[in-house]
């Protein structure tokens, strides 16, 4: 096959290029001056290769290219239409595959950012204000800097995971109990009883809620950590005070003077504990035993009214009708948890073995929740007995044991 390209120019020498054995024609700047040998149906079936053979200065005019036969044009159009249909179908499938691939890549990227947003830090690598328990060696959160990062860390495993979830679930449980209790009709629970029990629910929800928030945002910054640490200690004092209110109210139901004195005493002691908690020095690790001692003494202040009741009405009556046994169990649980917290057991004996689970603070949290549930059961029994007995018998009874 030969292809001749001839360019006619009246001012410059004409150029003639001959191509041989090629599958592609050399195009001219003027389509009227191109001559193509159409001895074969399709130029794409010819063998490849081209070679410049000669340069000639003669000027010749070429013939116009011939059109392909109509039958072959229809066949080619049919093939082109078939290919276009297949290409359209493939294009839709490709688009769907591309969308699926992009969605998967996006999900993988989110998971990667979620998991790799921060890395666990050893205790030695923490800033001083984040160092609390040096027996927890690995798995700490670094300073996260934003509340969003702190709350996202709830769903990751680290040294505070157990502390967060124990009191978060406890807060949800007591909130649900409070909603159920306060939603009872007056025929079941009178407004007076709702007000008395509100002190307990208020203290329990705030204590568990403040604790959950503290352990969540403690790593935000030093300033935020100190603020919520103080709220955490305030919550403990509020729970202690709120727990005493229903028991003292129903236990000394007919002893007005004793009831007022003991309620005032527990209020003053609880307020003192809150004031002490406001000092920054109080939150330092070296004062851990002192903190535990403050709240143990606050709880043990209930021993005085308990002895008063035993002396006045007898041990049996105190245990059977004033739930002294349940309240004693509550005190044992609170004190045991506080001692474990202060002693940092068991991680003190096995440093690095309880970094994530079963550390002393988590055990303390569980004891607090169980003790609060036991106390709630006890004050329900006291209230039920007192309301079943009815009003006080006489003014002499009140005066005698006031």
Q: Is 10 annotated as a binding residue?
A: no
- d(CA 204, CA 235) in angstroms, rounded, equals 8
Q: Which of 13-27, 202-216, 285-299 has maximum average pLDDT?
A: 202-216
Structural contact between residues 177 and 187, judged by C-beta atoms closer than 8 angstroms: no
Task: Compute φ and ψ for 39, nearest 5 degrees.
Answer: -70, -20
Structural contact between residues 351 and 137, judged by C-beta atoms closer than 8 angstroms: yes
pLDDT reported for residue 136: 96
pLDDT reported for residue 138: 95
**What does the radius of gyration of the chain's CA atoms come to, in whole angstroms?**
44
When pLDDT is averaged across residues 348-371 and rounded to a whole number, the result is: 96
Alpha helices in 252-394 (DSSP H): 256-277, 288-300, 303-313, 315-321, 324-343, 360-389
Q: Is 361 annotated as a binding residue?
A: yes
**Per-residue pLDDT at 346 exceeds 70:** yes
**Per-residue pLDDT at 133 exceeds 90:** yes
When pLDDT is averaged across residues 227-238 and rounded to a whole number, the result is: 93
Q: Closest by alpha carbon to 249, among 236, 238, 263, 237?
A: 263
Ordered DSSP codes for 67-130:
PPPHHHHHHHHHHHHHHHHHHHHHHHHHHHHHHHHHHHHHHHHHHHHHHHSS--B-GGGS-GGG
When pLDDT is averaged across residues 198-209 and rounded to a whole number, the result is: 97
Per-residue DSSP letter, 36: E
**Per-residue pLDDT at 285 exceeds 80:** no
- d(CA 38, CA 2) in angstroms, rounded, equals 10
**Per-residue pLDDT at 310 exceeds 80:** yes
- d(CA 359, CA 145) in angstroms, rounded, equals 26
pLDDT reported for residue 75: 54
pLDDT digits (tens, 9 = 90+) for 249-263: 999 998 999 999 999
Q: Is 215 annotated as a binding residue?
A: yes
Which is more confident, 380 or 25?
380
How would you class 16 by CB atoms within 10 Å of its CB: exposed for 0-12, middle for 13-18, buried for 19 or more? middle
pLDDT, the chain, mean: 79
pLDDT digits (tens, 9 = 90+) for 82-94: 555 555 555 787 7
pLDDT reported for residue 90: 57
Whole-model pTM? 0.69
């Amino acid at each position: 096959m030969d292809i001749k390209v001839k360019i006619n120019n009246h001012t410059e020498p004409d150029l003639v290029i001959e191509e041989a054995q090629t599958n592609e024609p050399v195009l001219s700047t003027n389509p009227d001056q191109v001559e193509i040998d159409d001895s074969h149906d399709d130029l794409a079936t010819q063998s490849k290769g081209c070679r410049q053979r000669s340069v000639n200065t003669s000027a010749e005019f070429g013939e116009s290219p011939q059109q392909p036969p109509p039958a072959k044009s229809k066949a080619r159009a049919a093939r082109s239409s078939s290919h276009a249909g297949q290409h359209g179908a493939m294009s839709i499938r490709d688009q769907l595959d591309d969308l699926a691939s992009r969605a998967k890549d996006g999900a993988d990227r989110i998971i990667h950012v979620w998991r790799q947003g921060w890395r666990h830090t050893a205790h030695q690598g923490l800033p001083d204000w984040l160092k609390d328990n040096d027996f927890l060696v690995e798995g700490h959160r670094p300073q996260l800097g934003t509340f969003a990062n702190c709350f996202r860390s709830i769903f990751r495993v680290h040294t505070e995971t157990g502390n967060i979830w124990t009191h978060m679930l406890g807060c949800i449980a007591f909130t649900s109990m409070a909603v159920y209790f306060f939603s009872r009709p007056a025929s079941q629970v009178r407004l007076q009883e709702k007000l008395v029990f509100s002190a307990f629910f208020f203290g329990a929800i705030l204590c568990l809620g403040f604790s959950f928030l503290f352990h969540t945002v403690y790593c935000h910054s030093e300033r935020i950590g100190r603020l919520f640490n103080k709220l955490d200690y305030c919550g403990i004092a509020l729970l202690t005070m709120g727990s005493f209110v229903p028991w003292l109210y129903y236990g000394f139901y007919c002893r007005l003077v004793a009831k007022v004195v003991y309620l005032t005493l527990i209020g003053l002691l609880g307020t003192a504990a809150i004031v002490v908690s406001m000092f920054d020095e109080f939150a330092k690790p070296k004062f851990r035993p002192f903190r535990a001692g403050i709240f143990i003494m606050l709880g043990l202040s209930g021993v005085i009214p308990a002895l008063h009741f035993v002396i006045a009405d007898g041990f049996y009556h105190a245990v059977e009708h004033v739930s002294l046994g349940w309240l004693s169990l509550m005190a044992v649980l609170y004190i045991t948890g506080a001692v474990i917290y202060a002693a940092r057991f068991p991680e003190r004996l096995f440093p690095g073995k309880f970094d994530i689970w079963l550390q002393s603070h988590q055990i303390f949290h569980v004891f607090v929740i169980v003790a609060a549930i036991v106390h709630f059961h006890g004050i329900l029994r006291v209230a039920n007995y007192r309301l079943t007995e009815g009003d006080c018998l006489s003014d002499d009874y009140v005066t005698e044991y006031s």
